[in-house]
Chain A
Amino acid sequence: MGLPVARRGPWQWIPQSEVTVNLHEYQGRVLFRAAGIPMPDGDVASTPSEAESIARRVGGTVVVKAQVHAGGRGKAGGVKLAKSPAEAAEAAEKILGMSIKGLIVQKVLVVPAAEIASEAYVGLIMDRASQRPVFMVSPAGGIDIEEVAAKTPDKISRLAVDPRYGLLPHQALGLAFFLYRDFAQARSAARIMEQLYQVFTTNGCSLAEINPLVTTPDGRVVALDAKVSIDDNELDRRPDLALLRDETAEEPSEVQARRANLTFIKLSGNVGCCVNGAGLAMATMDLVKYYGGEPANFLDIGGSSNPDKVVNALRIITSDSSVKAILFNIFGGITRTDDVANGIKTALSQFPVKVPIVVRLTGTNEAEAVKILQGIGMPALSDMDEAVRKVVALAKEAA
């Protein structure tokens, strides 16, 4: 018997942030229920009075759970038991607005407190090694699955599903019997596996996880949690899923960057970096570090050459007050270096940039780019090492 609390799954083993949309539990529940997975009644609330009326409707003791993308909600006080609608309102009052690992709680989920006889783990993950969705199930549910993997790996069963045929009935039953001896419970669990597989494939998930999958004292099998993350690449054809992204749960500058079609990750150093291509961007950050500097960010302007992107990139980089110098590292291929130069010129005419900028560019239309930069009195370097050494020195001077 125990309270359903937030638990960590293979959550951090899979791509984070931009590559996936991480759903809140209440959003995952909607997808689970649409597929028919048995879950406790309940709903999401943004105010204490909403929480109270949900508690009144579902009746009995309820659990009020903070909806944030952070593990350890329970430990942080984000999960509370309430024996009456009034207590549910009180719990919601305490949890809403609370900060858990830097994230402000804006919604709570109110669900009936389940009686638990046993807890299991069921996860479905897109696996790059087998290039297939892989089920991972364990009768040792309710705890950190990585801990199970480390300490008692024999308590985990894995199965790669051939997406052309889907999860076959005997495979689902085989996984279910790994969790339950009782045939009725195994059959229920097998059905849930099939439904979870449906959720996974129809929504383009990178992860769909139930932790815990519980049995109740009267023998039912019920999903007490719903953790779902969706492959970003699905969103173009699934605008309904794109709406589920909670931008309040992300770093504001990263949200701003995504809207401008840039990939940006804020770091703690003082050398702002603006690069085309993810691999070169990482190599640039590494070289900044190699020459004794600290990168302030990862920023990939991508392949297309659009001066507006450069303007947006500079706006985002300069909004970080810890940035003491900025490095452009552009290797023109599809990206035209003259477009980048024009972007820098436009940006400087639109808003003041108070820190020095070092530009390294080479490749497509390099001569035109150099001319444009010379026109605004900005030298252009063609060697990456020279540019990085220079920007690191400038950042050190200013610090």
Chain B
Amino acid sequence: MSIFVGRDTRLMVQGITGRDGSFHAKQMLEYGTTVVAGVTPGKGGQTFEGQVPVFNTVADAVRQTGANTSVIYVPPTGAAGAIFEAADAGIGLIVCITEGVPVMDMTRVLPYVRERGARLLGPNCPGLITPGESKVGIIPGNICLPGRVGLVSRSGTLTYEIVNHLTKHQIGQSTCVGIGGDPLNGTSFIDCLRAFQDDPGTDAIVMLGEIGGTDEQNAAIFVKEYVTKPVVGFIAGQTAPPGRRMGHAGAIISGSSGTAAEKIAAFETAGIAVMKRPIDVVPLVQARLK
């Protein structure tokens, strides 16, 4: 079992003929993801890597291949349009990898996606992976191991660091989800925590947060009230100076709500075991799986 993606995932790649899209489409195919379609306007009729049909529109791709999930690798100014198109065509899970999407675009995209009952992951995220079943996005498949720990994170490479530690110690993962670092995104920590709590294939949850905003604090309250599975957490940016953004638009210290200290305190209050270093994930998770 897993959350959001698995063996039933029929993936469409928007921007499959672009530099990033083609590279990662190939990686996803090699991993074993069921990639059923690609979309690039004007390139309909082509075939990608000899096996994936390319369509001009998402609607065509859905009609002809039954795609139910989309991953987006289009440039920032076209990303909102790609999300609108996917939502309109009835795609249930839309994963936007693109970094640099204007925030103003997201204010219009988010309600549109919700009204159509779709889920958006990202933008500016590494995607997600259910090890051994389906990889959607850019998380390296070789560092993951099938298992029963759910992981949700705001970062990319920090996620890989933590997953790598888990895998090296034979602690497998049910699903690893990168929700992205932008200030306005489609899927929150809480959405993922709820899904992991309800997933019979997940026994423990690892949550990786950052400074900035109040998402982690809200997630901590949710954990306290609804999550019965053990949760292990980490907050990056304890040494960040106030008022400065660290690469992610979301990672700033906003007044009194957003410092690492405040988030760690919120985690501890909610009974979340907090790692001091990335490597601490191993003993903390091991102790809670027994």
A201 engages B239 (CB within 8 Å): no
A267-B241 in contact given A131-B184, A280-B155 (Cβ < 8 Å):
yes
* B156 close to A (CB within 8 Å): yes
Known: A280-B161, A283-B158. 10 other contacts (CB 8 A): A16-B252, A131-B107, A146-B255, A162-B111, A233-B103, A236-B100, A279-B156, A331-B157, A333-B157, A334-B138
B210 engages A279 (CB within 8 Å): yes
* A117 close to B (CB within 8 Å): no
Q: Which residues of chain A from 229 to 261 have a CB within 8 Å of any chain B CB?
A: 231-234, 236-237
* B181 close to A (CB within 8 Å): yes
A265 to B247, CA, bound (A): 9
A128 to B126, CA, bound (A): 20
For residue A267, which residues in chain B have a CB less than 8 angstroms away from its CB?
239, 241
For residue B250, which residues in chain A have a CB less than 8 angstroms away from its CB?
128
* B54 close to A (CB within 8 Å): no
B278 engages A384 (CB within 8 Å): yes
For residue B255, which residues in chain A have a CB less than 8 angstroms away from its CB?
12-13, 146
A277-B138 in contact given A15-B249, A286-B239, A298-B246 (Cβ < 8 Å):
no
CB distance from B47 to the nearest CB of A (A): 25
19 cross-chain CB contacts under 8 A:
A12-B243, A16-B244, A17-B245, A131-B106, A163-B107, A163-B108, A233-B76, A234-B102, A237-B77, A278-B155, A279-B208, A279-B236, A279-B248, A280-B155, A282-B158, A298-B247, A300-B246, A332-B140, A363-B143
A279 engages B155 (CB within 8 Å): yes
Give B155's nearest chain A residue, CB to CB: A279
A364 to B24, CA, bound (A): 13
For residue B158, which residues in chain A have a CB less than 8 angstroms away from its CB?
277, 279-280, 282-283
B239 engages A19 (CB within 8 Å): no
* A362 close to B (CB within 8 Å): yes
CB distance from A10 to the nearest CB of B (A): 8
Closest 9 CB pairs of A and B: A279-B155, A278-B247, A277-B157, A279-B158, A282-B236, A280-B157, A163-B107, A282-B237, A128-B183
Q: Interface digits, B72-115 against A, CB 8 Å rule (1 contact, 0 not)?
A: 00001100000000000000000000011111101110110000
* B35 close to A (CB within 8 Å): no
A233 engages B101 (CB within 8 Å): yes
* B10 close to A (CB within 8 Å): no
CB distance from A18 to the nearest CB of B (A): 6
Q: Which residues of chain B from 188 to 218 have a CB within 8 Å of any chain A CB?
A: 208, 210-211, 213-214
Q: Which of A204, A237, A303 sits near B103, CB closer than 8 Å?
A: A204
| Count class of interface residues, chain B | 35 or more
Q: Interface digits, A293-315 against B, CB 8 Å rule (1 contact, 0 not)?
A: 00100101001000000000000
A18 to B245, CA, bound (A): 7
Q: Interface digits, B148-185 against A, CB 8 Å rule (1 contact, 0 not)?
A: 00000111111111001000000000000000010110
A281-B106 in contact given A236-B77, A385-B277 (Cβ < 8 Å):
no
For residue A362, which residues in chain B have a CB less than 8 angstroms away from its CB?
164
* B13 close to A (CB within 8 Å): no
Q: Which of B139, B157, B246, B277 sits near A276, CB closer than 8 Å?
A: B157
For residue A66, which residues in chain B have a CB less than 8 angstroms away from its CB?
none
A303 engages B156 (CB within 8 Å): yes
For residue A279, which residues in chain B have a CB less than 8 angstroms away from its CB?
153-159, 181, 208, 210, 236, 248, 251
B279 engages A385 (CB within 8 Å): yes
A164 to B109, CA, bound (A): 10
Q: Which residues of chain B from 219 to 263 have a CB within 8 Å of any chain A CB?
A: 234, 236-241, 243-252, 254-255
CB distance from A303 to the nearest CB of B (A): 7
* B276 close to A (CB within 8 Å): yes
Q: Which of A289, A303, A332 sits near B238, CB closer than 8 Å?
A: A289
For residue B140, which residues in chain A have a CB less than 8 angstroms away from its CB?
332-333, 363-364
A201-B245 in contact given A331-B161, A333-B138 (Cβ < 8 Å):
no
A15 engages B183 (CB within 8 Å): yes
The CB with the most chain A CB atoms within 10 A, among B104, B139, B237, B279, is that of B104
A290 to B153, CA, bound (A): 22
